[in-house]
Amino acid sequence: MNPRLSVLLQPCFRRTLSALRWIAYVCGGISIVLLVILGGSLIAAPAITAGHMLVLGFITLMLLGSAALYWHQRRIERRLHRVFFEMPASVVKIEAKVIQSGPVIGRMFHIYAPPQVKMVGLSVPDQATFDELRTLLPRHFENAGHH
């Protein structure tokens, strides 16, 4: 792998994975706080009410969602590693995307590989990195078509 490409990919990997990880942590943290509050309410209440069960169901859904996000982040991490380090020759298509929502501009690459990996997105922090990756990625993924 090109040493410059390796340096540029590190912040992109962090950016791509950290958003999902932090959402999972926040959901899990809120669930734990709600669980502690519910526990205190259950101890103080003379009987378990329908409201307690409703909140317990909500907490369960939040914890399951948090775990699902965390495992999804791990799966994306494995896909990125596989595409960039284990099987770059199998990549068939690279798409450069610039997405604007109001004043916020997002830059990313969609990288397509055979069924084992499918598509994986790589979020890019700034325009300079995006432009440099646009020239380096086609050299790294020699078999890929570029869009």
Give 126 or 115, the one with higher predicted confidence: 126
pLDDT at 19 over 80: yes
pLDDT at 117: 67
Q: Where does the pLDDT of residue 32 fall: very low under 50, low under 70, confident under 90, or very high at 90 and above?
A: very high
User: Which range, of 55-59, 128-132, 143-147, averages the lowest pLDDT?
Assistant: 143-147
Residues 38-66: what's their mean pLDDT? Answer: 90
Tell me what percent of the residues of the chain surpass a pLDDT of 70.
97
Question: 64, 106, 77, 98: which is closest to 17 by C-alpha?
Answer: 77
CA–CA distance, 24 with 4 (Å, rounded to integer): 31
pLDDT at 67: 92
- Average pLDDT over the chain, rounded to whole? 89
Residues 27-42: what's their mean pLDDT? Answer: 92
Helix extents (H) in the chain: 3-44, 50-81, 127-140
Residues 96-101: what's their mean pLDDT? Answer: 90
The residues, ordered by sequence, that sit 6+ positions from 102 with a Cβ below 8 Å of its Cβ are none
Tell me what percent of the residues of the chain surpass a pLDDT of 90.
51
Q: What is the DSSP-derived secondary structure letter of residue 86? A: I
